């Protein structure tokens, strides 16, 4: 099994694998073009980065990701300035999702065992964000988290566990505090 297949399956993988380094290098080149003040056709660059064209997608510069190809966004997606998507694992985002500035979606993690960390191992877990979700400024979503439909995550929150649909959730660690009136 290739290191890329291990990565996408959530198993330990070697991030220094030549294929993975090459894929990250390609993404870095496209991100450099996208973030450039002289960039001409940002929509085309995003399409090359994530592999398809989503209707109504808007990502403010600067934007950063590891691979791009592991990001799937729905219609009417908006990400404000300085968002970071570490997409070693899949990032699945529904329709009508809004991200405030500085949001970080982090699918990659390191082992707790110091020997395995020193060996350079990593693993990744998918992040899933439902429809009609709003993540406030500087929210961090950790590996393996699912955020349900119609949920609002307050600014500065660190989401370490799943948040159900139709909730307002805040804090570090992020916790539901009330229902969203729908």
With beta carbons less than 8 A apart as the criterion, state whether 159 and 142 touch.
Answer: yes
Residue 115: partners with Cβ closer than 8 Å, 6 or more residues away = none
- Whether 110 is catalytic: yes
Q: Which residue in the block uniquely carries the two structure tokens 């990400």?
A: 79
Which one of the listed residues 9, 110, 161, 178 is annotated catalytic?
110
Strands 167-171 and 174-179: antiparallel
Please list the alpha-helical segments (H only) found in the chain: 3-8, 18-35, 42-50, 114-118
Of 77, 66, 70, 56, nearest to 26 (Cα)?
66
Active site residues: 110
């Amino acid at each position: 099994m290739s290191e890329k297949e291990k990565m996408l399956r959530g198993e330990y993988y070697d991030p220094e694998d030549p294929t993975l380094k090459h894929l990250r290098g390609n993404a870095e080149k496209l991100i450099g073009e996208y973030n450039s003040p002289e960039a001409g056709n940002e929509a085309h660059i995003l399409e090359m980065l994530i592999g398809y064209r989503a209707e109504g997608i808007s990502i403010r510069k600067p934007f950063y990701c590891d691979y791009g190809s592991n990001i799937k966004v729905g219609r009417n997606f908006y990400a404000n300035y300085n968002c970071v998507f570490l997409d070693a694992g899949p990032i699945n985002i529904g329709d009508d999702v809004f991200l405030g500035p500085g949001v970080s979606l982090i699918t990659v993690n390191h082992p707790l065992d110091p020997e395995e960390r020193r060996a350079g191992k990593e693993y990744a877990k998918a992040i899933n964000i439902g429809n009609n979700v709003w993540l406030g400024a500087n929210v961090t979503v950790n590996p393996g988290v699912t955020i349900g439909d119609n949920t609002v995550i307050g600014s500065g929150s660190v989401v370490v566990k799943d948040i159900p649909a139709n909730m307002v959730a805040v804090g570090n660690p992020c916790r539901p505090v009330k229902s969203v009136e729908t």
